[in-house]
Chain A
Amino acid sequence: MLEFFTEPLSFPFMQRAMLEIIIVGALCGLVGSFVVLRGLAFIGDALAHAVFPGVVLSYAAGHNIMLGASVFGLLTALGIGLISRSKRLSHDSAIGVIFAAFFALGVVLLSRQTGFRQDLGSLLFGNILGVSRQDVLITFVVGLVIVAVVFLLLKELTLVAFDTNLAHSTGYPVFTLDIILLLLVSTTVVVSLQTVGNLLILALLVTPAATARLLTDRLNTMFALSVAIAIISGVIGLYISFHWSVAAGGAIVLTATVLFAVALVFAPQHGLLSQQLHRRQGKHHVHHFHAEGEDLEVH
């Protein structure tokens, strides 16, 4: 039994993969919490797709894929910020059109590279078993910066997430804070690309945070749970991938999805089961909606 856990760790590539997924899990869990609170899942997806041409270009030039991806991530974050500022466009459509086009550009660029096709899979679906020491180190350093920014601006990011009007009227630059959040998301996407790849990175950003949201109504608890769930999904997924020779990225995301499904059914307050129970017991604990004026206590 113990061997099930220790055996994979005797391989250096698995040690690196474990380290990488733990760092990436922590980042995605933390930053993903804001993605879920702000309802930015679609934008997260757009960001992930839009960095693809950068990945292809830096791969073709022999650079670390994070280099090109971060350039495109930066451009995309700014672009989305500008689009959401304009009142005339339907944001969803504009973001959908532009960033699907970015992905198409990546596909076209890729088709011009010869002898490159076998790597397509690793670009799209990640290649966590192939991460180098340098990759892990970069992820760690960039991750520290992301965590530091989130920690420093926790109050501001939370204020904007809850009440934009108050943030604005008390003098916080809402647009700048939105751009900072988009940059945090795009940077997280870039350093996480190698774990689950372009197409699945959204799941790592959204699924653990959404699971945590189901389990708690406290903000700090949500951050902690989200990070923990992302890391656990990553580690379990890696073990599954090792022992049953399945794709690591897919195994990680499916593990996270299973945890989400469990929470969806069994979560103490927001779970389907408990809501069903409450409905049966009457409306004493239905906390999502109170009839106006009901249960008011005057002191």
Chain B
Amino acid sequence: MDSEEALDRLPVAVRDLTVAYRDTPVLWDVDVSMPEGKMIAIVGPNGAGKSTLIKSILNLVPLTSGNVTIYGKTYKAQRSMVGYVPQRGSVDWDFPTTTLDVVQMGMYGKLGWIRRPGKRERDVALECLEKVGMASYANRQISQLSGGQQQRVFLARALAQDAQIYFMDEPFAGVDATTERAIVDIMRELRESGKTLVVVHHNLETVPEYFDWVILLNVRVIASGPVEEVFTREAIQKAYGGRMTFLPDSVGEPSGPLRRAESLGD
């Protein structure tokens, strides 16, 4: 698996990764491979380092040690293969700009310095907005969008990045059920066309339904692999520790009465 050739075909390989803020480790000796064409969930309690894992793959936080490869090369070399949906709360939605402009920002990386988005970029952006059901909001001020709509705009922006691997940081946080369904549909479409999706996810209940692969994280990797194999009661309990009082009876069954771990933690 770790031979050079295999690494080339691996969308994301994280090796011995440690990230520390000041002297506190946020991620400790993380070693995971993310297979191609899968929907991969990163789950774990608050403070488990889920967002940090994505950010360290994307070179957004300095690594204390270890390394990350995207299809066998550094992130820097493979940047154009990557799409990113940050947490919705990471930007100022009162910023004076329109929905269309935000989606076009997804193409700035490929446009390069100084060149402005033109008709082609505009068309692509409109197409992406169409896919997320937001075409009629193209000229809307972003401050006028609801939480679910903002999340769709972020997704459209990632689509405009036209990537091979998509990283999404809590795309379902604070969105309504309809938006969640719409986002999942798009994610599945992306998977069908061979893309890899890496998603920080909070709702344990929907993991078996939405995802093929799961990484259970709590500073260290607790378990990583196909959902049906590794998403077990024991592994979840280990990841959430004593903070998880209600454990599901039937993990692995989409209809299982699994509670939201998030609301029980902290």
* Chain A interface residues toward B at CB < 8 A: 37, 87-88, 152-156, 158-159, 161-163, 165-172, 213, 216-219, 222, 287-288, 290-299
Contacts and interface: CB of A to CB of B under 8 A. Distances in A.
A170 B109 contact: yes
A292 B147 contact: yes
Contacts of B136: 297, 299
Contacts of B149: 296
Interface in B37-81: 55, 58-60, 76, 79
Contacts of B14: none
A292 B176 contact: yes
Contacts of B249: none
A162 B175 contact: no
A153 B60 CA distance: 22
B265 interface: no
B208 interface: no
A80 to B, nearest CB: 21
14 contacts: A152-B114, A155-B108, A155-B114, A163-B91, A165-B60, A166-B105, A169-B79, A169-B84, A219-B97, A287-B143, A292-B174, A293-B178, A297-B136, A299-B135
B105 A162 contact: yes
A168 B178 CA distance: 31
Interface string B168-209: 000000111111001000000000000000000000000000
Given A171-B76, A222-B96, A298-B178, 10 more contacts: A156-B108, A163-B91, A163-B105, A165-B86, A166-B105, A169-B79, A219-B97, A291-B146, A293-B177, A296-B146
B176 A163 contact: no
A155 B148 CA distance: 26
Chain A residues touching B, majority SS: loop
B31 to A, nearest CB: 23
A37 B141 CA distance: 16
Given A152-B114, A161-B95, A217 B141 contact: yes
Nearest to A293: B176
Given A296-B176, A299-B133, A169 B105 contact: no
Interface of B: 21-22, 55, 58-60, 76, 79, 82, 84, 86, 90-92, 94-98, 101-102, 105-106, 108-109, 111, 113-117, 133-136, 141, 143-149, 157, 161, 174-179, 182
Contacts of B106: 166
A290 B109 contact: no
Contacts of B176: 292-293, 296
Contact of A169 (B60, B135, B146): B60
Given A166-B84, A296-B148, A37 B79 contact: no
A223 to B, nearest CB: 10
A161 to B, nearest CB: 7
Shortest beta-carbon contacts, A-B, top 6? A293-B176, A170-B109, A290-B146, A299-B133, A292-B147, A287-B144
A218 B116 contact: no
Nearest to A286: B144
A219 B100 CA distance: 13
Contacts of B114: 152-153, 155-156
Contacts of B161: 170
A219 B105 contact: no
A170 B95 contact: no
A159 B114 CA distance: 12
